Amino acid sequence: MCARNTRLVQALRPHWEGDVEFFEVRADTREGQALLRRFGMPGTHGLVVLDRQGTVIWRSFGHDTTPEQVEEILRRATR
């Protein structure tokens, strides 16, 4: 995960402890490449939110995601 998204996740993690699991994926590993394909990510610098059943409910590519956007998606995902 890129430095910007790492900081974003680190800022969100304390507020969502116990409700949301955060995982960082290294795109330069075999496992990371498999996960990128599985979740339809074209490359690095992205975020994916899954519901409790493991279905992708939101994804973002690049650096255009704000903390507020992710907070809203997480609120919807944890209802």
Q: Give the global pTM.
A: 0.76
Max CA-CA distance within the chain? 34
Q: How much helix, strand and coil, in percent to the nearest 5, is found in the chain?
A: 45, 15, 45
In degrees, to the nearest 5, what angle opens at C-alpha 12 toward C-alphas 17 and 40?
100
**pLDDT tens profile 10-52:** 899 999 988 898 888 888 899 989 988 988 888 777 888 888 8
Q: d(Cα 24, Cα 22) in Å, to the nearest integer? A: 7
In terms of Cα–Cα distance, which of 61, 20, 50 is closest to 11? Answer: 20
